[in-house]
Structure 1
């Protein structure tokens, strides 16, 4: 089949595009062509590249027509962030494709209620990103029910892999937390460190998209979580990483009101967002209907990414 992947040179596309090629699909990668995949793969040589600046094309009103003109069987949209954008593309493609796959987010749920969170938990999103992703999901499902639009929505957790930093045990992206753990130095966690983060390797997200295409009848009209088998508490995450570095964990805890004063505003906002959501997603539905089986645990995905980062930066891992 001819598969268009919108935003194919980023985190997910780095792994998804080669998987699509290896599965025998004719792949068209639509992007601004301002970034390269995080890793090289011979499969990229057989990919057709189409340069479209989505933001600019949407402003000019011809993005959807450009996608339609590519005459795909399957369209995978990895970079849709507003309901308006989703609506215009879905309406333009309706009746013209066999399958449309949208990359959502675990953030559609808002805070966790019962864990692990299942896909049917009532949506209570907060923050612009989560609210927009939840509204996109609601629109696409409604459009499917009204018109038969063949949509599947996949909700990844914290995507990680070699080439970018994972959410760390303090709930933000500051690499100093990992450096301190590697040196056996004390780190400070907010509250009691029992909030959760739920990572997923980008290759497992790619796997889920492939599985959804291969199990189309089970996937159409559905949403699926795409995360690792288990979430991590911040405390458990910190302990596991200290062990990974060959160090003994040195922890200190502070109430949020005191902890937030120890970090910069960027780290504070990321941590508040992550612990406020404290995602812990079930993948039972994806396993049953898509045969999704993550290759990486949260820790395995994180550790691979950190090894890559430390090697790149010349930081000694094990003490």
Structure 2
């Protein structure tokens, strides 16, 4: 098939594009052209690269037509965040494309009411990102179910892998968290540290997209979680990371108010507030999602567990100077 990938050089596209090329698909990779994929691969030499400024073209009303004119059998949209963006795209693709795959987010569910989450569970999103993505999903799946553009929505968890600062066991991207666990230093954890997070390797997310694309008959009109085999708590991940360095995790329970004030005192107002705020955003949702639907309908099988993907990411962060482990070397598992 001819597959157009919008946002092709991002976290997931970095892995999806080589997967599609290896499977024999013709790939057109769209991006802003500001950087290369996170991981080099020879498959990119066999890909048509197209530079596009989505914001500018959407403002001009030409983006949807630009995508439709590429003559794709399948369009994969990694970077749609508002229902207005989704509407412009489906209006142009209606009757001209066989399958649209949309990157959603596990955050559409807001605060978890059950564990593990299932795709059909009630959603109570909050925050601009989660609310906007729910509106996208509702518009796209309604379009699909009434016979318009056939659509599938994929909901990743916390996308992780080598090449960027991933969400750490405290739910933020502060590199000092990794260093403290490696050194056996005390780490303040908010509200007991029993909150769940659900990480996933970017290549496992790419696997779900590929399987949905190649199992169109069961994927159209559906949404699927793209996560590891199970979610982990703050305390569980912290203990796992510390054990890689022969340490016991020293975790001190604090209130959220103490957690925020402690970060502010250590790092200053803006940086401290940013990391504490990110922890709250990730932990208050308390997410662990089921992959049963993806297994049953698509044959999805996660390759990486949450600790495995974090370990691979930490090796990269350390080797590229993003995290100071005090001379400690962490080999890949």
Give the equivalent residue in structure 1 for 2:163: 163
SS of the residue 1:178 aligns to? helix
Q: Is the 8 A contact 1:105 1:130 kept in 2?
A: yes
Give the equivalent residue in structure 1 for 2:289: 281
Give the equivalent residue in structure 2 for 1:133: 133
Q: Using the TM superposition, give the Cα deviation of residue 205 of structure 1 relative to its aligned residue in structure 2, in angstroms.
A: 0.4
Q: Is the 8 A contact 1:3 1:72 kept in 2?
A: yes
Q: Given the alignment, which residue of 301, 306, 310 partners 1:293?
A: 301
| Distance (whole Å) between structure 2 residues aligned to residue 208 and residue 147 of structure 1 | 23
TM-score, normalising length from structure 2?
0.94
Q: Using the TM superposition, give the Cα deviation of residue 318 of structure 1 relative to its aligned residue in structure 2, in angstroms.
A: 4.6
SS of the residue 2:184 aligns to? coil
Deviations 1:8-62 (A, max 9, x none): 0010011000001001000000111001101110000000011111011111111
| Distance (whole Å) between structure 1 residues aligned to residue 256 and residue 52 of structure 2 | 44
SS of the residue 1:235 aligns to? helix
Q: Using the TM superposition, give the Cα deviation of residue 144 of structure 1 relative to its aligned residue in structure 2, in angstroms.
A: 1.2
TM-score, normalising length from structure 1?
0.98
Q: Is the 8 A contact 2:64 2:91 kept in 1?
A: no
1:308 aligns with 2:328: no
Q: Using the TM superposition, give the Cα deviation of residue 87 of structure 1 relative to its aligned residue in structure 2, in angstroms.
A: 0.8
The alignment's C-alpha RMSD in Å is 1.1
Question: Size of the alignment, in residue pairs?
Answer: 319
Q: Using the TM superposition, give the Cα deviation of residue 168 of structure 1 relative to its aligned residue in structure 2, in angstroms.
A: 1.2
Q: Given the alignment, which residue of 289, 305, 328 partners 1:317?
A: 328
Q: Using the TM superposition, give the Cα deviation of residue 149 of structure 1 relative to its aligned residue in structure 2, in angstroms.
A: 2.0
Q: Using the TM superposition, give the Cα deviation of residue 246 of structure 1 relative to its aligned residue in structure 2, in angstroms.
A: 1.9
Q: Using the TM superposition, give the Cα deviation of residue 244 of structure 1 relative to its aligned residue in structure 2, in angstroms.
A: 1.2
| Distance (whole Å) between structure 2 residues aligned to residue 145 and residue 39 of structure 1 | 37
| Distance (whole Å) between structure 1 residues aligned to residue 261 and residue 283 of structure 2 | 16
Q: Is the 8 A contact 1:144 1:150 kept in 2?
A: yes
Give the equivalent residue in structure 1 for 2:11: 11
Q: Is the 8 A contact 1:246 1:318 kept in 2?
A: no
| Distance (whole Å) between structure 2 residues aligned to residue 219 and residue 19 of structure 1 | 18
1:181 aligns with 2:181: yes
Q: Is the 8 A contact 2:68 2:97 kept in 1?
A: no
C-alpha spacing 1:317/1:216, structure 2 compared with 1 (3 Å): farther
| Distance (whole Å) between structure 2 residues aligned to residue 285 and residue 130 of structure 1 | 22
Pairing 1:90-129 to 2, within 5 Å after superposition: 90-129=90-129
